[in-house]
Structure 1
Amino acid sequence: MAVVLRFVDKDGFVRERFFGLVHVSNTSTVTLKDGIYSLLSHNNLSIQNIRGQGYDGASNMRGEWNGLQALILKDCPYAYYIHCLAHRLQLALVAVSHEIVPIHHFFTKLSSVVNIVGASCKRNEELKRAQAADIEYMISIDELESGRGLNQIGTLQRPGDTRWSSRFRSVSNLITMFSATCSVLLNIIEDGTNAFQRGDADAAYEAMTSFEFVFILHLMKEIMAITDILCQALQSKSQDILHAMHLVSSTKALIQKFRDYGWITLLNQVKSFCEVRNIDIPEMNAQYVARQGRARRQEDNFTVAEHYRVNLFYAVIDCQLQELSSRFNEHAVQLLILSSALDPRECRESFRIGDVCQLADKFYPADFTDVDKMNLKIQLEHYEYNVVQHPEFKSLSTISDLSQWLVSTRKATIFPLVYRIIVLVLTLPVSTATTERSFSAMRIVKTRLRNKMEDEFLTDSLIMYIEREIAEKLSIESIVNEFRDMKERRIPF
């Protein structure tokens, strides 16, 4: 387990330093917590001084009830957990939906269809010709509008974990080129060079032309269309926390609205899609029977419509809402929204003194006494005239820039309480990228030829490798002198 400390130095710069590597016998939350506490106590650091914690997307870290962040919050109530804003949220949402078996099968079949159709340049050309013919036919029957820039010829997108929004584009493109894709698969079934190609194409065509595949295709497209804007905003290099948090709220509301009122519209849309393409539509009021030998294990009697509404529609949406709520709970969202009141870009529009006071009163009561809270409001009123309206303040774009400027102009000593809350906000780890890079560096330092390296030596080596800018300031002579001044060692005979 790699541990990185985030803090603000004496010059107002935000620093993220690799602190150590903890070897854990298992990944239980108690073991992880004990490992962190042991490392901090070994370096004479108190856990009561933690003011933020952030982890990767692992469930044992971020679990709301039994996760590592929850256990630390019990011991230190002001160690607020903030979801890593650099984490690819849409991939996490898709991964959660994989827990529903039909959705997992759908993405497996989707990848198979895209790989078969896009396996060669010849098939891509066939796809483009088929799509052009399909567009021409749809325009002739007034199903599509014609005009400049409309109905562009495209291609299928391969879903991948390293390509942002690839799954959303993959689903959207397949809906647009559904008929053209079916035509290419039929051509492969008839004219494939070998039995393997024909068999794979036949299996892909059979899966693709099922009502369940089409239903899930449209369902995932609607859900990912709602979450895509938020996912793109969280990936922005220049993070606008206030707007991102408002997007979190609107995304939750839109998904909930889709759950409450979107079922009939989605079902009619899927039925219309299937009718145009001659795909069999099951009788919705008939009793649902599980396929592939699972019918004999089926105990409950429910209709086909109930299966699609409850087991797929509600199940997928509920897992999305639960994932968003666990990553962005109301407490964390309010903390970040109030923190944005200190952002120079927000201050130039409207300096929200009340939000800053509420931030100190509600989230950092251990760092501000009652007298400090009274003085903070007075300092903020002076701060508005002496700092916010300063000509150089207009050139600042982030809270980190503000912190450095306050120290360099010595205004941090004039407004110590304002600077204190700025430092507290800056310690919130809104990105775990440094931690992930530090852990990845272990593969470089501890290679196959050096896999017997002890934990202490590995940690020291990683510190020298990761924090090389600090190591470069150390001279060989100073290291030799320090080693010489250490206690005397036994001289070998």
Structure 2
Amino acid sequence: MMDVVQQIAFAFHFSAKRIDVFKEEVKENDEAKASMEKRQKLQTLCETRWASGANALFTFKASLEVIDGALHRLANMSDTKARVYTCPIERFDFILPLIVCEHVLQILAPLSEMLQSKASDLIEAMKETRAVYAVIQNERNYGAVWDALYESAVQLAATIGVEPLSPRCAGHQLHCNNTPVDSTEVYGKRSVLCPFYDHVLQELDDRFLQCSERFMAQHLVPSNLGNLTDDMVMQIYQTFSADIPAQAAVFHTEIKRWIARWLLEDPGNLPSTLQNTLHDINPNLYPNIFNVLSVLISMPVSIASAERSFSVMRRMKSYPRSTVTTERLSGLAMFHAHEDMGVDTEAVVRDFAQGKSKRLVFLFNN
């Protein structure tokens, strides 16, 4: 289903002719125009950003009737690939996963956006993860949500003339999902909803909930010290015992000095992020806290920062810059990452002019 959505989105995205036909279909369909919420084109999927996937699936679901009509019109206009794109979307085993995945990704979208923020609060992220986990687990165990999703899929399929049918089952087919059921509704629940919900629950548990004890160390950030308790300190020590060479009593004493250190400061000037805390901490005075925060900052719950770096590299190292050296490319990346920092242009010109002898005179000495 995801592959089909991506292929069709690319097909309309990179063709002016198809985009024009799509917009004409939207203008003629007032109901689809309202459900698309002022969107004028399809959105492509992103393999890593789940929030983007939720928006892309929502747009595709809301404009499914428009997409089907546009593809049929393009097929009549001798578009050879339009018929190829029409066949997979006019199947109930495509529409039902579309409804289920879009619904689940909408639940995960706020959490995904929170985790991809540069100033992500890991403690609040864990609370939100537990809330999302509870919601998905409740929907997986009770059938009221499934009934609504299935009815929504049946209604969406009816707009393009698709009947709710389940795939044919055969005992001798070893690689097919031959779920023994009597109805299409039960087949969809057992083969689509339950496996997908189980997969999401397992990923949430593996990626976040099992690491929640390590994220407790964010209470050592000066702005969060007011919520730090003795039990939390003991839990942090036990979790990071491999990275703390000191004994438990020494670590507790260091924590007391750490709290007293920041009580002397103005509450408005307390560091609120791990990066700022590591910048202000003295590793010689607080070696154990420094080790704990260094480990914590090196194990992000998402890879959003790395993905942003890859996106920057894709924009910078384009075909005209294919021969750029590593040193220059690293410099451009640093400029892009720290674009908010001011640059002293006179100092840059002075360093460039005095670097080595040049034929042109860049500086005029009085």
The offset of 1:397, in angstroms, is 2.7
Could you list the runs of 5+ residues in structure 2 that have no partner in the other structure? 318-325, 331-366
Q: CA RMSD in A?
A: 3.9
What's the TM-score, normalizing by structure 1? 0.54
Residue identity opposite 1:280 in structure 2: E
Asked if the contact 1:111–1:158 (Cα under 8 Å) also holds between the matched residues in 2, the reply is yes
Asked if the contact 1:207–1:213 (Cα under 8 Å) also holds between the matched residues in 2, the reply is yes
Structure 1 position 430 matched with structure 2 position 299: yes
Structure 1 position 178 matched with structure 2 position 64: yes
**Who is 1:107 aligned against?**
2
Secondary structure of the residue aligned to 2:219 is helix
The offset of 1:420, in angstroms, is 1.1
Could you list the runs of 5+ residues in structure 1 that have no partner in the other structure? 1-105, 445-461, 467-493
Secondary structure of the residue aligned to 2:281 is helix
**Who is 2:152 aligned against?**
269
Cα distance change of structure 1 residues 127 and 402 upon mapping to structure 2, 3 Å threshold: same
* Percent of aligned pairs with the same amino acid: 15
The offset of 1:174, in angstroms, is 0.7
- Which protein has the bigger helix share? 2
- 2:214 pairs, out of 311, 317, 335, with 335
Asked if the contact 1:400–1:426 (Cα under 8 Å) also holds between the matched residues in 2, the reply is no
**Who is 1:202 aligned against?**
83
The offset of 1:396, in angstroms, is 1.8
The offset of 1:219, in angstroms, is 1.0
Note the alpha carbon deviations across 1:296-342, whole angstroms, 9 max, x for none. 98876423333211111111121222222222242x11221x20111
Note the alpha carbon deviations across 1:375-423, whole angstroms, 9 max, x for none. 544554454344234128724232343344232xx9x53xx4xx41342
- Higher RCO (C-alpha under 8 Å, 6+ residues apart): 1
Residue identity opposite 1:134 in structure 2: N
What pairs with 1:39-118 in structure 2 (closer than 5 Å)? 106-118=1-13
Figure out how many residues of one structure are paired with residues of the other and give that number. 309
Rounded to whole Å, the distance in 2 between the matches of 1:301 and 1:163 is: 35
**Who is 1:356 aligned against?**
233
Structure 1 position 402 matched with structure 2 position 277: yes
**Who is 1:302 aligned against?**
181
**Who is 1:315 aligned against?**
195
Note the alpha carbon deviations across 1:232-282, whole angstroms, 9 max, x for none. 222212232212222322222222122123321211121222234432123
Residue identity opposite 1:107 in structure 2: M
Note the alpha carbon deviations across 1:6-33, whole angstroms, 9 max, x for none. xxxxxxxxxxxxxxxxxxxxxxxxxxxx
Rounded to whole Å, the distance in 1 between the matches of 2:95 and 2:280 is: 56
- 2:43 pairs, out of 157, 160, 164, with 157
**Who is 1:279 aligned against?**
162
Rounded to whole Å, the distance in 2 between the matches of 1:299 and 1:225 is: 29
What pairs with 1:452-471 in structure 2 (closer than 5 Å)? none
Which aligned runs of 4 or more in structure 1 are off by greater than 6 angstroms? 295-300
**Who is 2:141 aligned against?**
260
Residue identity opposite 1:312 in structure 2: V
Asked if the contact 2:179–2:187 (Cα under 8 Å) also holds between the matched residues in 1, the reply is no
Secondary structure of the residue aligned to 2:59 is helix
**Who is 1:325 aligned against?**
205
Cα distance change of structure 1 residues 295 and 134 upon mapping to structure 2, 3 Å threshold: farther
**Who is 2:362 aligned against?**
none
**Who is 2:359 aligned against?**
none
The offset of 1:181, in angstroms, is 0.9
Residue identity opposite 1:305 in structure 2: E
**Who is 1:221 aligned against?**
102
Secondary structure of the residue aligned to 1:244 is helix
The offset of 1:175, in angstroms, is 1.0
**Who is 1:74 aligned against?**
none
Cα distance change of structure 1 residues 298 and 334 upon mapping to structure 2, 3 Å threshold: closer
Secondary structure of the residue aligned to 1:427 is helix
The offset of 1:112, in angstroms, is 2.8
Rounded to whole Å, the distance in 2 between the matches of 1:294 and 1:125 is: 44
Rounded to whole Å, the distance in 2 between the matches of 1:403 and 1:235 is: 21
Residue identity opposite 2:43 in structure 1: Q
**Who is 2:17 aligned against?**
122
Structure 1 position 230 matched with structure 2 position 111: yes
Rounded to whole Å, the distance in 1 between the matches of 2:294 and 2:174 is: 56
Secondary structure of the residue aligned to 1:130 is helix
What's the TM-score, normalizing by structure 2? 0.70
The offset of 1:155, in angstroms, is 0.6
The offset of 1:368, in angstroms, is 6.3
